[in-house]
Amino acid sequence: MSVKKTAYSCQNCGAIHFKWSGKCTDCGAWNSLVEEFAEGGGSHFTRLDDEKIIKNSSVKNSRIVDLVSLNGQVQDFPRIKTGINELDRVLGGGLVQGSVVLIGGDPGIGKSTLLLQTANSLAKNNNSIIYISGEESVDQVRLRAKRLDCDCESIKLASTTNVAEIIETVKNQKGNPVVIIDSIQTMFLDGLSSAPGTVSQVRASAGELTIFAKKHNITLLIVSHVTKDGQIAGPKVLEHMVDTVLYFEGEKDLHFRILRAIKNRFGAANEIGVFEMNEIGLSEVSNPSELFLASYDYKTSGTTVFAGIEGSRPILAEIQALVAPSFIPTPRRAVVGWDLNRLAMIIAVLNTRFGLNLFDKEVYLNIVGGLKIIETSADLAVACALISSARDIPLENSTIAVGEIGLSGEIRMVSNLEARFKEAHKLGFKNCIIPKANEKNKNFNNIIKTYPELNIQTISHIRDLNKFFKK
């Protein structure tokens, strides 16, 4: 008699628990544990099967692996240009033949649109494309393709959710096609009894597809939905098994979409591509700074322009702050596009080291255009926006600010100053507030000489900001 083993897997992080509890002890998510069964043999990567694998393994039959020297010849990865420059940039110069790319994002953000346009662009360059849709019927995909004006002749389309069927179908195709799976949460493997979308199905399906792709040198693009309520397993549980993880971000009601590389075995992580969503699909934005500053008005108080670096690319973004009196005991603090804890820190530093008391004020901070900034060098720009709003004094015309703020109020050095200056100069900015600590940098004088039109002001402590906000 076979005994069914049950376990509870967290739909957020994929951790396996042998007892149900309301909270996942691994990632802290509430209500994310779902009962799953481990059945059948095979190569399903659930932890329940680990025991079995260990029992069956034997050291005796293993082959000896060749050890080579570290300083040998390096092979260049053959890349397929997608023809969409922003996507190629994020991928590190194009799709690597035989690699597996995961594209995550909220449902409805435009992942399918992006992939259909990519498929179209690839097909135009005589690549063979197979588009597997598990979400929509063939007719629905065709309709979408018509709307996006995609020439659908050479893209092969199928609507199925069975992984074994997909593998069998792709095997019978000539050449090394690019296969698009939309989405992994709808896929299932026969051997597992759990429903599609659960951790074990998502992980096993992706594992099976990845092994197949690697073996046959097939390039795989996998779509994965991000869910906040934990109903279906998110891309987090797959990140370790694919080569590249891209996230498609943006607010649904805004036009801009940002494609960000979270992990890339064949290029730099954190590289971003910017797109604009319009009636005919996604169009590339080759100069995002212009877009993010489109409605920037230097005459209003509470705004500062930050010269940031996303991956290898400088991007100017407008930071808006609003400081308003509060009538409740705990004043509201809200942030869009930045870290709330970091804002709390800046507010505390401003209070203690600068003498600006915001404890009885509501504070709102917004990075305009839907950009998410993770750099700590945005601290100075945020501080400027807060002071400017609190005192109702706008910063001088065409000024950018960049610098990290320490707890004692000191302004710390930032990297990539030259790239930031270059972008600021390109967009006609005249004044830069930067950390004095950067003067120690060997190249500093050379950088200054390169941009004689820029009026560069260095500050070492947050109290030095006073001179910019005097009436």
**12 binds Zn ion, rule: CB under 5 A:** yes
Q: Which amino acid is at 155?
A: I
Min CB(28)–Zn ion separation in Å = 7
Min CB(246)–Zn ion separation in Å = 23
Min CB(208)–Zn ion separation in Å = 23
**26 binds Zn ion, rule: CB under 5 A:** yes
Site string for Zn ion, 58-97 (x = CB under 5 A): ----------------------------------------
In the bound state with Zn ion, the residue whose beta carbon lies nearer, of 12 and 127, is: 12
**10 binds Zn ion, rule: CB under 5 A:** yes
**24 binds Zn ion, rule: CB under 5 A:** yes
**27 binds Zn ion, rule: CB under 5 A:** yes
Choices 20-28, 40-48, 58-66, 278-286 (CB under 5 A): range interacting with Zn ion: 20-28
For residues 334 and 364, the answer to whether their CB atoms sit within 8 Å is: yes
In the bound state with Zn ion, the residue whose beta carbon lies nearer, of 27 and 374, is: 27
**Beta-strand relationship, 244-249 and 455-459:** unpaired
Min CB(107)–Zn ion separation in Å = 21
Min CB(11)–Zn ion separation in Å = 8
Site string for Zn ion, 371-390 (x = CB under 5 A): --------------------
Q: What is the Cα–Cα distance from 302 to 127, expressed in whole angstroms? A: 50
**33 binds Zn ion, rule: CB under 5 A:** no
Q: In what order do the strands lie in the sheet with 219-225?
A: 155-159, 129-133, 178-182, 219-225, 100-105, 244-249, 256-264, 272-278, 281-284
Number of shown-chain residues binding Zn ion (CB under 5 A): 8
- Closest by CA position to 36, among listed 164, 186, 193: 193
What are the residues whose beta carbons fall under 8 Å from the beta carbon of 271, sequence distance 6 or more?
89, 90, 92, 260, 261, 264, 310, 311, 312, 313
* CA terminus-to-terminus distance, the chain: 85
For residues 102 and 90, the answer to whether their CB atoms sit within 8 Å is: no
In the bound state with Zn ion, the residue whose beta carbon lies nearer, of 29 and 419, is: 29
What are the residues whose beta carbons fall under 8 Å from the beta carbon of 134, sequence distance 6 or more?
159, 160, 161, 181, 182, 183, 186, 187
Min CB(20)–Zn ion separation in Å = 13
Min CB(293)–Zn ion separation in Å = 40
Q: What is the Cα–Cα distance from 16 to 183, expressed in whole angstroms? A: 23
For residues 85 and 117, the answer to whether their CB atoms sit within 8 Å is: no
In the bound state with Zn ion, the residue whose beta carbon lies nearer, of 24 and 181, is: 24
Choices 4-12, 74-82, 189-197, 340-348 (CB under 5 A): range interacting with Zn ion: 4-12
In the bound state with Zn ion, the residue whose beta carbon lies nearer, of 25 and 357, is: 25
Q: Which amino acid is at 83?
A: G
Name which position in 7, 13, 16, 96 contacts Zn ion (CB under 5 A).
13
Scan for tokens 């707890």, then name that residue: 407
In the bound state with Zn ion, the residue whose beta carbon lies nearer, of 17 and 391, is: 17
Min CB(305)–Zn ion separation in Å = 39
Q: What is the Cα–Cα distance from 443 to 108, expressed in whole angstroms? A: 46
Q: Which two tokens stand for residue 357?
A: 């008391």
Residue ranges in contact with Zn ion by CB under 5 A: 10, 12-13, 15, 24, 26-27, 29
